[in-house]
Amino acid sequence: MNDYLDLFINYLAVEKGLSGNTQEAYSRDLTRYLDFLEKQGATSPGSVKATDIALFMGRLKDRGIGPRSRARCLSAIRMFHKFLMVENYAETNPTSIIEAPRILHKLPGFLTTQEVDALFAACAGTSAENLRDLAMLELLYATGLRVSELVGLKLREVNLDSGYLMTVGKGNKERLVPIGESARDKVGTYLAAVRTKLDPRCANPFLFLSRLGADMSRQAFWSIVKKRSLMAGIRKNISPHTLRHSFATHLLENGADLRSVQIMLGHADLSTTQIYTHVTRERLKRLHQQIHPRG
């Protein structure tokens, strides 16, 4: 069965254009699934039964795997068996009668505008580290990029004169995102005062670099966000994704239409963006309760 997994991962890369991170996640989930099938005696696509999959999902639940992770795993299994059918490696799809775990949608956490200001203020100063961190945080909040998109930005993909950047998101889809004036200023300062010294010959194509002139990793930027939030006195447990949520929430609170926010976030489905309307409704409800005489 592992031979089919190799074919499937190649299919995800070539035909679907899924990112390396997504391919790795699918590979991990399916490797665990195929190991389970082997122990059950299912060694070919045609020998897998719906009861095998149901038992596997039950084992995940017994091990304390949450509904969101189980749903992601089942999604990988569904796509794998659909691939086997389409490519004529199997005649039936045993996942067709398996129900997905029910997920309670958690409202995304976000920062207030005052907290965003405090986060930026924590980068005050003219050191190379301060200028770089402020540029990254401002750009993330101004554009709503995913952290992988931010650290993956290349110099040629950012046009400060026109106020736009081009990024490649999920599904290998390109999109143009506008950059606000404040973020343009901070990125421009970083380029002139910091990046030119880290990489004077522009040998590294990426926009943001580590203090040693190497590529910036997602883990390194995650640490920057944690460090700056502590310096700002923000008690919330925030991550780079919190700034993405804040970007979307603040746009909608200030009158942006849902379709425009969807395009800027790079969501394939409008329903994914609609969760932010729940955030703004919840906020309005809390304000009403706090301020209205009969709230």
Has 228 been annotated as catalytic? no
Question: What is the dotted CATH code of the domain comprising 113-291?
Answer: 1.10.443.10
Bridge partners of 206, per DSSP, are 154
The pLDDT score that the predictor gives to residue 288 is 54
What's the chain's average pLDDT? 88
In this structure, whether the domain defined by 2-86 belongs to CATH 3.40.718.10 is answered with no
Has 170 been annotated as catalytic? yes
66 — pLDDT class (breaks 50, 70, 90): confident
Has 276 been annotated as catalytic? yes
- Write down the catalytic residue from 82, 175, 241, 283: 241
Dihedral over Cα of 154, 155, 157, 162: its sign:
positive
Tell me the two tokens of residue 106.
């958690």
- Write down the catalytic residue from 72, 81, 132, 146: 146
Look at 163 and 264; give whichever has higher pLDDT. Answer: 163
How do the domains of the chain map onto residue ranges? 2-86, 113-291
Name the phi and psi angles at 262, rounded to 5: -60, -45
Percent of residues, the chain, with pLDDT higher than 70: 89
Percent of residues, the chain, with pLDDT higher than 90: 59
Rounded CA-CA distance 274/99 in Å is 24
Rounded CA-CA distance 126/146 in Å is 27
List the one residue out of 250, 257, 13, 292 whose CA is nearest residue 117.
250
Has 241 been annotated as catalytic? yes
Has 294 been annotated as catalytic? no
Q: Mean pLDDT, to the nearest integer, of 145-168? A: 93
243 — pLDDT class (breaks 50, 70, 90): very high
267 — pLDDT class (breaks 50, 70, 90): confident
User: What are 74-80's contacts with CB under 8 Å, separation 24+?
Assistant: 74/98, 74/100, 74/101, 75/100, 76/25, 76/26, 76/29, 76/30, 76/33, 77/29, 77/30, 77/33, 77/53, 79/8, 79/26, 80/4, 80/5, 80/8, 80/26, 80/30, 80/33
285 — pLDDT class (breaks 50, 70, 90): low
- Write down the catalytic residue from 170, 175, 218, 227: 170
The pLDDT score that the predictor gives to residue 242 is 92
Has 81 been annotated as catalytic? no
The pLDDT score that the predictor gives to residue 264 is 86
The pLDDT score that the predictor gives to residue 114 is 95
Look at 87 and 21; give whichever has higher pLDDT. Answer: 87
The pLDDT score that the predictor gives to residue 122 is 97
Give the three-class secondary structure for 159: strand
